[in-house]
Structures are given as C-alpha cells and as structure tokens.
Amino acid sequence: MKAIILAAGQGSRLKPKTDNLPKCLVQVKNVPILNYQLEALNRLGITECVIVVGFMGDLIRQEAGDKFGDLHISYVDNKYFIETNNIYSLWCAKEYLADDIILIEGDVLFDRNILSALVDNIPSNTAVIDDFRSDMDGTVIIRKSGLASSMILKSQQGKDFDYSNAFKTVNIYSFDGSTMQQYLIPALDTWVNEGFTNEFYEAAIADLIAHNTIELETQHVGKNKWVEIDTIDDLEKAESAINYFS
C-alpha cells in the first residue's frame, strides 16, 4: 500500500500566498500543509508516498526530501501543470498506481482519525465524505446503502441541483490494487489519450460508477475536522481549527 499526493497545481485562488510558493507548502500555524499530511501517513505506518509535483516542484522536493520518519518519498513531475488538471497529474504517476493506494489532494488538512479509519478498511474502494454545506463547492456524491450511486462534478451541478441528498467529497480516497489495474488505470489512459487532460480525475471515477464498473464505498468524517484550503478564507478557517486536528 502506498500514498499518492497530488500537489502540481498553482493554487491561483490562494494568491498572494502562492506567488512564490507551491500551494501544499502554504503554512498553517507555521507548518506547511504537506507536513501535516506526511506526519499523518507516517504515524499510521505507511512507508511509501509518491508526490506529484509541478508548480515550483523543486521547493517541494527541498522541503519534504526523500524520507519523512519511516515514510519513503518519491516524486513524479507533471511538466504540463499549467495547461492540465489533476487527472493528468494522477496519470503521470500511473507506474506507481498498480497497488492498494490512498489518494490525497495536497491542499487538504484533516484529522488523522479520518485517515486511520480509511487505512483500517483497506483494501477497499472508498471515498471520504462529509455532509454538504452551503459554503462548500466541488464534487459531490449521492449514496445508497453506503455506496456511491453517483458522483457529480461541480461543472454538472446546475442552478437547480438538489443538494438535499448530496455529500461533499473530502478529496481523500482509497482504491485496491485490483481496481487500479483493471479499471482506473485503463480509464485514466483512455481519458488522457483522448485529450481530456484538463479534467478532474473524479470525472473518470464518476464514469466508472455510472457504468456500474466499480463499487465505491463511502466513509463519513463524523465529528472529525477537515479543511480544503483553496482560498484565503479557507486558510483562516484552517488556522482557527488547527487545535482540533489530532
């Protein structure tokens, strides 16, 4: 089992914090977001992590190095981070994906209990979710009997979209090696080879769910805290909530 962290984006909505700094290195209480993630993985006994870098990737390499505690770190470059989205970043790491994986986006701060519950359920295909609130945006999941019955990206949520049964994705997932090898890696190949490099990887997952190709379990965060840090407002929320992260 290994962790994959996607950290190639420019973080334009966090400017000026990201003028000269990758988004994952923006500090919360004087500690980079990435360090919180690596610490959580290390404490849970994960020993291998792959970070996909792009914008100012050398700074990420300098900060994280090749080892964090017992966690060994490798890097993959998305050389086209300016014109691509995270589906391409994930595809860039495909040589590392044929395994049980934990997938984390590099801008998420979270209680370690969330990750601990996910690890306890491996091998599985699981999306971590939370109740949808009006201050949230992004991909949502509709679920039935604990499974995702559909995954809807932000671009598909029209002005009349009904959020009453929707759950927000936390951008933390696990996938078992069989699913990766048989379905998700081939799906990424198809999307990228057909030129859909400026999409979110959730589009490929949503398509697999829609065609009943994979089952995706859902893990609710419960009382555990998390923050997706996209904006300065998000950063301020993370600063005020950091004492809740264990």
Tens of pLDDT, residues 151-165 = 999 989 988 899 999
Residue closest to 93 by CA, chosen among 139, 127, 54: 54
| Interval 65-89: pLDDT, tens | 999 999 999 999 999 999 999 999 9
How many domains in the chain? 1
Phi, psi of 51 (to 5 degrees): -110, 125
Residue 170 in tokens: 């936390």
- Tell me the residue type at 137: D
Name the pLDDT band for 176 (thresholds 50, 70, 90).
very high
Element (H, E) at 236: helix 232-241
The mean pLDDT of the chain is 94
Q: In this predicted structure, what is the pLDDT of residue 245?
A: 66
Which residues lie closer than 8 Å to 164 by C-beta, 6 or more apart?
Answer: none
Chain-centroid distance of CA 169 in Å reads 9
Mean pLDDT of 48-67: 97
Residue 69 confidence (pLDDT): 95
pLDDT, one tens digit per residue, over 4-43 is 999 999 998 999 999 999 999 999 999 999 999 999 999 9
Beta-ladder partners of 153: none
pLDDT at position 198 is 96
User: What local confidence, expressed as pLDDT, does residue 244 receive?
Assistant: 65
- Quick one: pLDDT at residue 221? 95
pLDDT tens-digit readout, 132-145: 988 888 999 999 99
What pLDDT is stored for residue 136 in this prediction?
A: 87
Q: What is the pTM of this model?
A: 0.95
CATH number, position 229: 3.90.550.10
- What pLDDT does 99 receive? 93
Q: Which domain holds residue 50?
A: 2-244
